[in-house]
Amino acid sequence: MTHVLLLLLWLPLLVSGSSCPSSPTSCPCYNFEDGLFLECPDATAHILREVLLQVAGPVQSLSIYGLDAQVTVLQAELFPPGAAIRHLQISHSSLSELADDSLVEIQSGLESLSLVSGRLKQVPQKALSGLKELRALDLEGNDITDLPSYSFYGLHLTKLNLKGNLLQKTSEYAFAGLEESLNDLELAENKLRIFPMAALRRLEHLRSLRMAWNEIGDIPNDGYSRLGALLFLDLSSNNFEAIPSDCFHPMPALRTLSLYYNAIETVQHDAFLSLLELESVDLSHNKIVFLDGATFQSNKKLRTVDLSHNHIHYISGVFAHLPELRELFLSENNILEVPADAFTDSALLTVIYLQQNAIRRVDSEALLSLPNLAQLHLSANYIRTIPKDWFTTSNKLTSLSLDGNKLEGLEPGTFRHVNSLRELRLQNNQLVEIGRGVFDPLPALLELHLQNNLISSIESGSFRSLQSLQHVNLQVSAIPDYLRLIGTSADQCQCHPGLK
């Protein structure tokens, strides 16, 4: 039995063929099932070499952070002959360049390389060119200002991260050699002013492109350049002021588009004409005032639209006839009303955020096409009345926020179709009384918020049907024995202090 136990303990080592140094070192070593993991904080080149000499077998991951500040050039001597490393990370160093032969000893088997938060001023192309098995290269947080032609030639990368550099120029052939392999490119937080279409158009398998926090103001369309495989595009926090007609024609497969935190004022009615596969668009935190009713009519696969934090006034027809739409974010705009055709035939719409607008009127037919609506947020508007038939088809509604409006009363029967409602927020309105029958159809209600109204009377039996209620917040000046009527103790009710 003892022999079997020992065999089981040694099995991971036999499988990986690796073992940590036998004597303690300044680099913690962990032997997991998938190999050795070495972490070397504040190490010198000499210490690193000595540690690697003591390691038996290949290293799954070597993380070096805070490398000796005197080491500005990575030399070949760092890695002893026979060293085998699959994933190498060097972060927070003073490295400004790599000797041409610096990675020769570990080029066989190296799959990912991270040189992060250093001082590289250019891509060390010669040092990298022999890394035939390298698939991921991370050069985030360096001082690289431009990408000349053939910067990555000889590599077969699938993922490349150049975030947080000082990139201003990208040669047309900067990514030459990566045409058949690269699918994920990170260029965020640089100084690019022009969308590098010429450099990108040959990347036939590029699926994800992140370019947030640059200075780009438009997307060039020469009529023939295409990013045919691109699915994800992030252009947030750039300098876009307008989205012109068919702006994204070169990217017909796009599914996710982010343009938040720009300075967009105008969106042409056919701006997204070619994006037939688009599922998510984020245009929040811009300056959009008007959207044509046809803006999204080519995008029948849209599932999420975020237009919060803009200056939109009208939404008539804009979100109608979108059969896959699930989530709609429209908070913090200047929307004046919810018209009858706002969401027509967008039957899968589940969540609508309309809080902090200037809504004064809601049409009685606005929600008729939304049988799957689960959450409706209308807080902080100017609504005075809710149509009695507004929720006729809203039997799946679970959360309704009408707080911070100008509601003066609620008709009995208003909530008769929302018997799945769990949360109802009516605080900070101008409600004067609660009549019998208003809340009768809400047996599943868990939370009811009525504080900060003008309620002076509550008819007996007003809360009798609320058998599931767990939390009620109610501050009024004259109360009948409502706690007894709903079977609630004073501890469960957040009421005016004088009522407890």
The residues spanned by each domain of the chain are: 14-109
Q: How confident is the model at residue 102 (pLDDT cuts 50, 70, 90)?
A: very high
pLDDT band for 357, please (50, 70, 90 cuts).
very high
Q: What is the dihedral of CA 182, 188, 194, 197, to 10 degrees?
A: 20
Q: Is the pLDDT of residue 489 over 50?
A: no
Give the separation between CA 426 and CA 429, rounded to whole angstroms: 7
Model confidence at 393: pLDDT above 90: yes
pLDDT band at 165 (very low <50, low <70, confident <90, very high): very high
Mean pLDDT of 358-365: 98
For tokens 């913090």, name the residue: 332
85-99 mean pLDDT: 97
Q: Residue 392 has which token pair?
A: 């006729």
Give the CA-trace dihedral at 355, 358, 362, 368, to 10 degrees: -40
DSSP of 283-352: --SS------TTTTTT-TT--EEE--SS-----TTTT-S-TT--EEE--SS---EE-TTSSTT-TT--EE
Instruction: Report pLDDT digits (tens) over 439-459.
Output: 989 999 999 999 999 999 899
pLDDT tens, residue by residue, 411-446: 999 999 999 999 999 999 999 999 999 998 999 999
Instruction: Indicate the range of 56-65, 322-331, 332-341, 382-391 predicted with least confidence.
Output: 56-65
Confidence class of residue 476 from pLDDT cuts 50, 70 and 90?
low
pLDDT value of position 17: 60
Is the pLDDT reported for residue 269 higher than 90?
A: yes
pLDDT of residue 6: 35
Average pLDDT along the chain? 91
Q: Which residue has the higher pLDDT, 10 or 275?
A: 275
- 494 versus 266: which is more confidently predicted? 266
- What is the reported pLDDT for 43? 87
Residue linked to tokens 């690019």: 192
CA 360 vs. chain centroid, Å, equals 32
Mean pLDDT along residues 356-367: 98
Residue 485 or residue 33, greater confidence: 33
pLDDT for 7 equals: 37
- Of 26-30, 73-77, 319-323, which one has max mean pLDDT? 319-323
Q: Which residues contact 103 (CB under 8 A, 6 or more apart)?
A: 74, 76, 79, 110, 113, 127, 128, 130, 131
* Model confidence band, residue 222 (pLDDT cutoffs 50, 70, 90): confident
Residue scoring higher pLDDT (1 or 260): 260
Residues above pLDDT 70, as percent of the chain: 92
DSSP assignment of 31-75: EETTEEEEEEET--HHHHHHHHHH-BS-EEEEEEES--TT--EE-
Does the pLDDT at position 1 exceed 70?
A: no
79-83, 122-126, 151-155, 479-483: the lowest-pLDDT one: 479-483
- Which pLDDT tens digit goes with each residue over 104-133? 999 999 999 999 999 999 999 999 999 999
By the 8 A CB rule, do 133 and 155 touch?
A: no
